[in-house]
Structure 1
Amino acid sequence: MQVYFDWVVLFQVFCIVQGFTTGIYLLTTKKQQPSHYWLGWLLLGLTLQITDYFLSRSGIYYRNRWLYFSPFFFSWSFGPLIYFYVKSRVQKINRISYWHFVPVMVQGIFYLLLVFQPLSVKADFWISVHKPYTRYLEHYGACLSVLCYGISSITFGGISKERDSRHYYFLCGLILFYIVAAIDPLFNHLYLEPTAPKFYLTALVLPLFMYSLALYGLLRKPTILIRKKAANSSVDKDKLDQVIKVMHEAKLYKNPDLSLPILAQQIGLPTNELSRIINSGLQKTFADFVNDFRIAEVKERMLKAEDERFSLLGLALDAGFSSKTTFNRVFKERTGMAPKFFKKESQLINRGEALPNES
Structure 2
Amino acid sequence: MIDTSLNTSNFYFLVTVIQGIVLSGLIVFQKPYKRPNLYFGILLFLFSSTILHIVLEGSISGFNRIFPFPMEFSMAYGPLAYLHILHIKNPLRAFKAKDLLHFVPCLIFEGLFFYFFFRYLGANPDWTNSHANTVIFITMTLALLGNLHLLIYTLLIFKESKATRFLLKDFVKVQKWLKYLIKSWGILFTAIIIAITASILFVDIIRGYTQYIFIPLGIIFTAFIYGLGYMYLLKYSGALKQYMDKAAKFSFTQEELEKRQLQLIKTVKCEELYKDPKLSIAKLAGHIGWPINDLSQILNEVMDTNFNDFINHYRVLAFKESILTDEAKKYSIVGLSQKVGFSSKASFYRVFKKETGLTPSEFMENEGL
- The aligned amino acid for 2:238 is P
Choose which of 225, 240, 244 in structure 2 pairs with 1:224: 240
Choose which of 301, 311, 329 in structure 2 pairs with 1:280: 301
- The aligned amino acid for 2:156 is S
Contact 2:4–2:11 under 8 Å retained in 1 = no
- The aligned amino acid for 1:101 is F
Q: 2:176 matched to which residue of 1? A: 165
Q: 2:102 matched to which residue of 1? A: 100
> What is the rounded CA distance, in whole Å, between the counterparts of 1:279 and 1:87 in structure 2?
24
Give the C-alpha shift of residue 68 in structure 1. Answer: 4.0
Give the C-alpha shift of residue 142 in structure 1. Answer: 2.8
Matched, 1:141 2:158: no
> What is the rounded CA distance, in whole Å, between the counterparts of 1:63 and 1:185 in structure 2?
19
TM-score by length of 1: 0.57
Choose which of 198, 203, 208 in structure 1 pairs with 2:218: 203
The structure whose Rg is larger is 2
Deviates more, 1:139-148 or 1:160-169: 160-169
Contact 1:78–1:142 under 8 Å retained in 2 = no
> What is the rounded CA distance, in whole Å, between the counterparts of 1:45 and 1:155 in structure 2?
24
> What is the rounded CA distance, in whole Å, between the counterparts of 1:27 and 1:145 in structure 2?
25
Q: 2:341 matched to which residue of 1? A: none
Q: 1:294 matched to which residue of 2? A: none
Q: 2:11 matched to which residue of 1? A: 10
Give the C-alpha shift of residue 50 in structure 1. Answer: 0.7
- The aligned amino acid for 1:199 is I
Give the C-alpha shift of residue 246 in structure 1. Answer: 5.2
> What is the rounded CA distance, in whole Å, between the counterparts of 2:50 and 2:105 in structure 1?
16
> What is the rounded CA distance, in whole Å, between the counterparts of 1:69 and 1:137 in structure 2?
18
Aligned length: 249
> What is the rounded CA distance, in whole Å, between the counterparts of 1:20 and 1:139 in structure 2?
24
Q: 1:122 to 1:31 in 2, by over 3 A?
A: farther
Gaps of 5+ in 2: 166-170, 251-257, 270-296, 305-369
Contact 2:43–2:77 under 8 Å retained in 1 = yes
Contact 1:27–1:41 under 8 Å retained in 2 = yes
TM-score by length of 2: 0.55
Mapping for residues 245-284 of structure 1, pairs under 5 Å? 245=264, 280-281=301-302
> What is the rounded CA distance, in whole Å, between the counterparts of 1:278 and 1:172 in structure 2?
32
Give the C-alpha shift of residue 243 in structure 1. Answer: 2.5
Give the C-alpha shift of residue 228 in structure 1. Answer: 6.3
Q: 1:123 to 1:145 in 2, by over 3 A?
A: farther
> What is the rounded CA distance, in whole Å, between the counterparts of 2:231 and 2:125 in structure 1?
39
Give the C-alpha shift of residue 149 in structure 1. Answer: 1.4
Give the C-alpha shift of residue 115 in structure 1. Answer: 5.5
Give the C-alpha shift of residue 176 in structure 1. Answer: 4.0
Gaps of 5+ in 1: 234-238, 251-275, 284-359
SS at match of 2:33: coil
SS at match of 2:124: helix
> What is the rounded CA distance, in whole Å, between the counterparts of 2:299 and 2:8 in structure 1?
49
Contact 1:50–1:206 under 8 Å retained in 2 = yes
Give the C-alpha shift of residue 137 in structure 1. Answer: 2.5
Give the C-alpha shift of residue 65 in structure 1. Answer: 7.3
- The aligned amino acid for 1:69 is P
- The aligned amino acid for 1:62 is S
Q: 1:128 to 1:29 in 2, by over 3 A?
A: same
SS at match of 1:69: coil
Matched, 1:175 2:186: yes
- The aligned amino acid for 2:23 is T
Q: 2:230 matched to which residue of 1? A: 215
Q: 1:151 to 1:67 in 2, by over 3 A?
A: same
Q: 1:228 to 1:22 in 2, by over 3 A?
A: closer
SS at match of 1:3: coil
> What is the rounded CA distance, in whole Å, between the counterparts of 1:175 and 1:18 in structure 2?
23
Q: 1:21 matched to which residue of 2? A: 22
Q: 1:150 to 1:242 in 2, by over 3 A?
A: closer
Give the C-alpha shift of residue 110 in structure 1. Answer: 1.8
Q: 1:2 to 1:131 in 2, by over 3 A?
A: closer
> What is the rounded CA distance, in whole Å, between the counterparts of 2:244 and 2:303 in structure 1?
10
SS at match of 1:168: helix
| CA root-mean-square deviation | 4.1
> What is the rounded CA distance, in whole Å, between the counterparts of 1:22 and 1:184 in structure 2?
27
Give the C-alpha shift of residue 20 in structure 1. Answer: 1.4
Give the C-alpha shift of residue 225 in structure 1. Answer: 3.8
Q: 1:121 matched to which residue of 2? A: 124
Q: 2:263 matched to which residue of 1? A: 244
> What is the rounded CA distance, in whole Å, between the counterparts of 1:26 and 1:109 in structure 2?
29
Mapping for residues 23-172 of structure 1, pairs under 5 Å? 23-57=24-58, 59=59, 61-62=60-61, 67-92=66-91, 93-96=93-96, 97-106=99-108, 107-114=110-117, 116-117=119-120, 119-121=122-124, 124-125=127-128, 127=132, 129-133=134-138, 135-157=139-161, 158-159=163-164, 164-172=175-183
> What is the rounded CA distance, in whole Å, between the counterparts of 1:204 and 1:50 in structure 2?
9
Contact 1:38–1:81 under 8 Å retained in 2 = yes
CA deviation vs aligned residue, 1:278-302 (integer Å, no higher than 9, x gap): 893399xxxxxxxxxxxxxxxxxxx
- The aligned amino acid for 2:132 is I
> What is the rounded CA distance, in whole Å, between the counterparts of 2:299 and 2:115 in structure 1?
48
SS at match of 2:3: coil
Q: 1:184 to 1:55 in 2, by over 3 A?
A: closer
